[in-house]
Structure 1
Amino acid sequence: MRILIMTAAALMLVTGVGIEPSSAQNTAAMSVPVTRSFQDWRVACDNGGRCTAYTGYEGHLTGFVLIIMPAGPDAAPDITVGIDPREDGTGPALRINSQVFPIVWSSLTPKDGLGRLDGDAARHLIVALATGRSMTLTGGEEDTSLSLSGMRQALAWVDRRQGRRQTTTAMLLRGDRPASAVPPAPVLPLVTAAPPVDQTGFGLGAPVPQSVDAMPQIRACRREWPDSARPDLAVSARLDAATELWGPNCFVAASHIGHLMYLTGPGGRDPRPLTPAGALEPTVDFVTAEYDPATRTLSHFVWLSGTGSAGQIQHWVWTGETFALQSEQATKDLWNIPVALWPTLWRTRSPED
């Protein structure tokens, strides 16, 4: 499902009349998650206005460049470079045309083979990328060429979305307007978990009520997948005195376990499909699903490759009334970007923040 929003400002631009959106308009627009493709570059922006622009190499080698730009007047770009390290531990470098930018190994990233630039170093690299014709990662097992096609369009789009164009904080569309002209980042939604409840009789593998087993979607799934492909790995939980969660498994394929989720009354009465909101569209099929009764969190992990280099991770929190989306990260390109660096599409805050 693709959500299209046409604001008054956007309509003016389409009809050829340019206006500068107000700070409030920019902040409201930034609260809507969105993804875009610009030739060989991707952009993902979350509901907090933070945007990730990235490209990579699809193959057995690690090779990617990932630029994160938070929203707000005080934000600055942060760049992570991924490259397989040499056996001697030699640090990587990024070559733009004939100019070499040394990349320092970072202790802030989740594994060896990642370098990081921020502050002035990140801005200098962005300027070089914007005027570059070629980009090569060196210092790894092999040199890796990455595409610059679409990079300028991607970063310019982020500047416009975050209200940075013609300001001193813009990545590409820089000007003399002060940082104070940049709109503030949207306030992240507050998600409060309901208190934990007793889980006696529930948990992984608990017997699924007949009322849930009889649901048409479950019957259709079991006609398609034989019993040998469906070990008893149902997810279940007591959410409160009047609500239960049941997730019969539908299939097992490689490392994926598929579930269909239902909310019911006590004893499995009156089952209804659970389709909680995602950042871009509701979730119907749950993969590698888990429920943590201590934190009241339902999780969903989809791996689009055996190496885990692409996929989707979502977490929802039971609030006592609904499963509210807590966080979401996703990428569809098989560019060997570590899970911890997958672009964010949704973030929230808790009462402890």
Structure 2
Amino acid sequence: MLTIALLALTQAAAPQQGPIKSFGAWVVACDNAKRCEMTSIWPDDSQPEEGSPYDQVSVSIDRAAGPAGGFTVEIQLPGNSGSDPVQVSTERGFSIRAVPKNDLLRFTGADAARIIAAMVDGTDLRVGDETSVTGMASLKGSSAALRFIDAEQGRVGTMTAAVAKGAKPASAVPAPPVLPRIAYVRPIGAAARFTPAMRRALDKSSECGSVYEGGTGELPGAEVHALGGGKTLVLLPCGSGAYNFSTAPYILSGNGAPVRARFDVSPGMIAEGPQELVNASFDAKNGRLESYSKGRGIGDCGSAEAYVWDGAMFRLVEARSMPECRGSVDWLTTWRAQAVPK
């Protein structure tokens, strides 16, 4: 019965990632379990001028799903912000004070709910003290983003909604979906030998070797990791740019020829062609293979994925994304799964 149960876990439907949208100066996303996040971005497409208050703070908000799901509001402050109380306010008279910890203001419960209510009608969320403003986040689009969360979590018309309020009780809000469970193979044992002849053959067949033609010195080394179950992961270097390093993933079984690794969801949302990882890393402690593709050097846009090996393919356990290159380093989660060791 245990074998059948684990087989059912590995044959689950392909991941359907949650939606991600942009509204004005905010990006919002909900994952497959209806946990929702929204984050502030620059008000315009270009970076604010030096010294602008819009380039000094970043605001991140999340809300748990279900009838009792509440808000968490985090405001990242500039470095060396000190330990004195900081005031968060809007131009409509709302204000709340708190002491930062590690350059971060964090609000939950009733305080977070008060900030959310003030955002709906405000123009800017301001950070500073009674006499000066050191940073601001534009609230343009924040109401639409909150309304999006209301709809995704089934709160429209209920007392728990942030914007689309109604008379229905909290009990009318649906319970959150259960996270999918993915059975994975523990990465134990020794990695198989990846020979120089195998490297030369892969460089030729994948055309990854041609990327480095004309360069000086030796080719970048390939990473080799034991996956368990007699399988070995080979991460073959396949080119690089200013801030992204591409890798072709292969599976090696004993003395057989390496074969391209399979994924249930392509890294970086690649629709066609051989799948590649970007800025790849493998953590043998938890069996996670990660890919992190930056849209530009400062890392304010791109996509990231994490996978585990189920014995036949890599299965997605986390996906994050930021489609707008407008100052936010808070990429939003669109997929989560619980990895269960076999």
- After TM superposition, the score normalised by the length of structure 1 is 0.76
Describe the superposition over 1:101-133 as per-residue Cα deviations: whole angstroms up to 9, x where unpaired: 2342455xxxx2211112121222122111113
Of 39, 52, 60, the residue aligned with 1:66 is 60
In structure 2, what is the equivalent of residue 129 of structure 1? 119
In structure 2, what is the equivalent of residue 20 of structure 1? none
**What's the offset of the Cα at 1:170?**
0.8
Residues in 2 aligned to 1:196 and 1:85: alpha-carbon distance in whole angstroms: 39
Q: Is the 8 Å Cα contact of residues 191 and 232 (structure 2) preserved in structure 1?
A: no
Q: Which amino acid counterpart does residue 121 of structure 1 have in structure 2?
A: D
Q: 1:230 to 1:174 in 2, by over 3 A?
A: farther
Of 20, 33, 45, the residue aligned with 2:30 is 45
Of 179, 202, 213, the residue aligned with 2:203 is 213
The gaps in structure 2 that reach 5 residues or longer are 1-14
**What's the offset of the Cα at 1:271?**
2.3
Within 5 Å, give how 1:27-176 maps onto structure 2.
Answer: 32-57=17-42, 58=47, 61-84=55-78, 88-105=82-99, 107=101, 112-138=102-128, 143-176=134-167
- What is the number of equivalent residue pairs in this alignment? 314
**What's the offset of the Cα at 1:208?**
4.6
Within 5 Å, give how 1:1-353 maps onto structure 2.
Answer: 32-57=17-42, 58=47, 61-84=55-78, 88-105=82-99, 107=101, 112-138=102-128, 143-201=134-192, 208-219=198-209, 221-222=211-212, 226-228=214-216, 231-240=219-228, 243-267=231-255, 269=257, 271-272=259-260, 274-277=262-265, 281-282=269-270, 284-333=275-324, 337=328, 341-351=330-340
Describe the superposition over 1:208-235 as per-residue Cα deviations: whole angstroms up to 9, x where unpaired: 5343222244255345xx4349842312
Describe the superposition over 1:297-329 as per-residue Cα deviations: whole angstroms up to 9, x where unpaired: 212223445454444332111121221112222
**What's the offset of the Cα at 1:37?**
1.0
**What's the offset of the Cα at 1:179?**
1.1
Describe the superposition over 1:273-296 as per-residue Cα deviations: whole angstroms up to 9, x where unpaired: 544515983583312212233432
Q: Is the 8 Å Cα contact of residues 321 and 332 (structure 2) preserved in structure 1?
A: yes
**What's the offset of the Cα at 1:201?**
4.7
Q: Is the 8 Å Cα contact of residues 234 and 259 (structure 1) preserved in structure 2?
A: no
Q: 1:31 to 1:115 in 2, by over 3 A?
A: farther
Residues in 2 aligned to 1:220 and 1:80: alpha-carbon distance in whole angstroms: 46
CA-atom RMSD in angstroms: 3.4
**What's the offset of the Cα at 1:36?**
0.7
Q: Which amino acid counterpart does residue 212 of structure 1 have in structure 2?
A: L
**What's the offset of the Cα at 1:269?**
1.6
In structure 1, what is the equivalent of residue 5 of structure 2? none
Residues in 2 aligned to 1:232 and 1:31: alpha-carbon distance in whole angstroms: 36
Residues in 2 aligned to 1:129 and 1:229: alpha-carbon distance in whole angstroms: 56
Q: Percent identity?
A: 23
Residues in 1 aligned to 2:74 and 2:196: alpha-carbon distance in whole angstroms: 44
SS at 1:164 equivalent: coil
Residues in 1 aligned to 2:337 and 2:77: alpha-carbon distance in whole angstroms: 31
Q: 1:343 to 1:103 in 2, by over 3 A?
A: farther
In structure 1, what is the equivalent of residue 12 of structure 2? none
Q: Is the 8 Å Cα contact of residues 88 and 127 (structure 2) preserved in structure 1?
A: yes
Indicate the structure with greater strand content. 2
